Amino acid sequence: MVRELMKDTVFLAQKALPAAAEDIPTADDLLDTLRAHADGCVGMAANMIGVNKAIIVFDDEGTLREMFNPEIVYRKGLYLAEEGCLSLQGQRKAKRHKTI
* 19: enclosing H helix or E strand: none
Residue 89 lies in a domain: no
* Order of all β-strands in the sheet with 63-68: 43-45, 55-60, 63-68
pTM: 0.90
CATH of the domain at 37: 3.90.45.10
pLDDT surpassing 90 at residue 89: no
Please check whether residue 75 is in contact with residue 86, taking contact to mean a CB–CB distance below 8 angstroms.
no
- Residue 31 domain boundaries: 9-71
Q: Report how many domains make up the chain.
A: 1
The pLDDT tens digits of the residues spanning 6-62 come to 999 999 999 999 999 999 999 999 999 999 999 989 999 999 999 999 999 999 999
Strands (E) in 12-69, as ranges, are: 43-45, 55-60, 63-68
Question: Quick one: pLDDT at residue 40?
Answer: 86
Residue 18 lies in a domain: yes
Residue 65 lies in a domain: yes
Question: Quick one: pLDDT at residue 23?
Answer: 98
